[in-house]
Amino acid sequence: MKRKLINMLELQNDMNSKVNVDWRSAGNEWYRAIWIESSEMLEHYGWKWWKKQMPDLMQVKLEVVDIVHFALSIRLEQDSSLVASAATIADAFRSPVMTDDIKTTIELLVKQTLVDRGAHFSTIAGVMRHLDMTFDELYEIYVSKNVLNMFRQDNGYKEGTYLKIWHGREDNEHLASIIQTLNSNSADFKGDIYKALVAAYRAAQAA
């Protein structure tokens, strides 16, 4: 777990640096991104009692991964040692904090985040426990979403020219479909994802 967490921290630093080389001193409101993503996660799970809703579990898991991106960024700002950060995060993942319902666990994560603007991996682990989501699954999706984020930046996301909706579906949904067709044990799993995204994006633009 620590080895994979070190890799995730490295990937997160690379992604943040692609957006802004001086990201550590930019004063980014990571906490705000976390509670907004938490709201989106609740929407994908479903909470409206006045209509029939079926949880979109893959999209819920993708939102968990988005939250992890921002939580990792908080840890990177707090500690320059990747090994130390990985150890701290690993301990948190081994001690899930949760309520008896995923909706209130998500709300707990939001509350904690708004109170101290920190990274709460134990509560993230609690949400994952509700979803029967393993750390290995989190890692696989994290790497995939990291590639998507890189792809977005390479195709004008920051400049506002990137098309997030392809053939009526958000790129996150395309990513979920792509992951299911690829072998995560491939020697170039990241490269395989990127190539598949390029093909899907070009097809959407040509349509």
pLDDT in tens, 140-195: 889 888 899 889 999 999 899 998 999 889 998 898 889 888 887 777 888 899 99
Kindly report the pTM of this predicted structure: 0.83
The whole-number average pLDDT for the span 9-25 is: 92
Q: Summarize the chain as % helix, strand, coil (round to 5).
A: 70, 0, 30
Q: Is the pLDDT of residue 66 over 80?
A: yes
Read out DSSP for 108-140? HHHHHHHHH----HHHHHHHHHHTT--HHHHHH
**Whole-number pLDDT of residue 74:** 97
Other C-beta atoms closer than 10 Å to the C-beta of 166 total 18
Domain architecture of the chain: domains with CATH: 2-206 (1.10.4010.10)
Percent of all residues in the chain with a pLDDT value above 90, rounded to a whole number: 71
- List beta partners, residue 165: 170
With tokens 């029939």, the residue in question is 52
Rounded to 5 degrees, φ, ψ at 165 are -105, 120
CB 138 within 8 A of CB 68: yes
Q: Running DSSP on this structure, what letter comes out for residue 168?
A: T
Q: Between 189-206 and 171-181, two packed helices, what is the crossing angle to 10 degrees?
A: 130
For the record, the structure tokens of 125 come out as: 């682990």
